Amino acid sequence: MSQGNSSITEHQRAFAQVDERARHLLKTLVERYIVEGQPVGSRQLARDAGLQLSAATVRNVMADLEEIGLVVSPHTSAGRVPTQLGYRFFVDMLIQVRPLNENRSQALLEQLGSGPASPGTAAQVASQVLSHLTRMAGFVRVPKRSQSAFRHIDFVALGQQRILVVLVTHTGQVENRIIQIERPLSPGELVQAANYFNERYAGLPLGEVARMLQAELLQARNQLDCILRSAMEMGQEVLNLRDDEVVIDGEFNLLDAPGLDNLQQLRDLMETVRRGEDLIHLLDESARADGIRIFIGEESGFASMSQFSLVTAPYQLDGQVVGVLGVLGPTRMPYQDIIPLVDCTAQLLSGALSTK
């Protein structure tokens, strides 16, 4: 699994010191801690591991794992819990990820593949599905409008010099905006204006169309006839691009995240989720990764997320990555269940978009 902003060298040093017996014990400890949320004692671990080891032997192994930073004792006489590095070892080296069973895959397909009208609608459905199935926060980075290709535009007169502009991209995104123009344009003039756009800009990224419009208006404003200038101005107004949209569902589930009793940390996290800027940074970074990417705790680089993990996967349109989706939850999440769910949702969303 790809990881966040953590030290590869540190991981390699620690991981190289863990033999097979210690790996089995660490895997058992992490799995039990994820389920129960309580420090795991040596006697309990000896019974669960099924290796016919004495509690004393297990204590010695745990002491070695604690020395290299994979587990920690929260109290002097208590058992041990995994550290952030321990979770990373578990995810990278020990986890057994199985594909979703057929019933779960079919249920996802029915929800995501039932014909969403646009990427925005599909993103909303996907985030709701992820949140509902995990009881955590589901999120989807909507495709950047500036990178979407222009398909066509229509101008519809509404009266009193008001125009409805309908912009459609190659992803099926539809942008509707009502704008005010300086003088009335006849239906024929509006068709002429739309034809100019559709012939000149079809297939170009919206960001490039916006830059071309700005340059042409600045360079040849006096030479443009009234209809053409109006068309460009109408197009420029509707192409006021926003590239920072993230659809989030179930963020209040995080208030019930197990093991979190620091109210200030919860407030900071909710503010991070509300603003979305940090998530956007991480999701844009994830879009450049190949497949699943996981940020555990401080690997995200943001203090407010130090007790949380982010599991992400890119989704595609016609073979090109256009966005990222995933789940935000506590570091004590069931990674073996979350990872295939996120992966399958990304694949199904890609399929749903590519059939539009």
**Residue 329 CA from chain centroid, whole number:** 12
Residue 214 has which token pair?
């700005």
Residue 230 has pLDDT above 50, yes or no: yes
Whether 217 contacts 233, CB under 8 Å: yes
Task: Encode pLDDT of 161-201 as tens digits.
Answer: 788 888 888 767 777 888 787 777 788 888 888 888 888 88
Confidence of residue 10 (pLDDT cuts 50, 70, 90): low
Top mean pLDDT of 17-21, 86-90, 125-129, 250-254 is at: 86-90
pLDDT at position 270 is 79
Confidence of residue 72 (pLDDT cuts 50, 70, 90): very high
The Cβ-side half-sphere exposure at 268, using a 13 Å CA radius, reads 13
Phi first, then psi: give them for residue 43, nearest 5 degrees: -65, -45
Phi first, then psi: give them for residue 152, nearest 5 degrees: -160, 165
How confident is the prediction for the chain on average, in pLDDT?
Answer: 82
Q: How would CATH label the architecture of 102-143+244-354? A: 2-Layer Sandwich (3.30)
Q: How far apart are CA 329 and CA 146, in angstroms?
A: 30
Beta strand 293-296 pairing with 2-3: parallel
CATH of 2-94, one of 3.40.47.10, 1.25.40.390, 3.30.2350.10, 1.10.10.10: 1.10.10.10
Residue 38 has which token pair?
């309580």
Burial annotation 59-90 (CB, 10 A radius, 16+ → b, else e): bebbeebeebbbbeeeeeeebbbbbbbbbbbb
Fold of 146-238: Enolase-like; domain 1 (3.30.390)
List the chain domain ranges: 2-94, 102-143+244-354, 146-238
Residue 44 has which token pair?
């309990």
pLDDT at position 6 is 47
pLDDT at position 176 is 80
State the average pLDDT over residues 313-319.
84
Q: What is the 3-state secondary structure (H, E, C) of 278-335?
A: HHHHHHHHHCCCCCCEEEEHHHHCCHHHCCEEEEEEEEEECCEEEEEEEEEEECCCCH
pLDDT at position 5 is 46
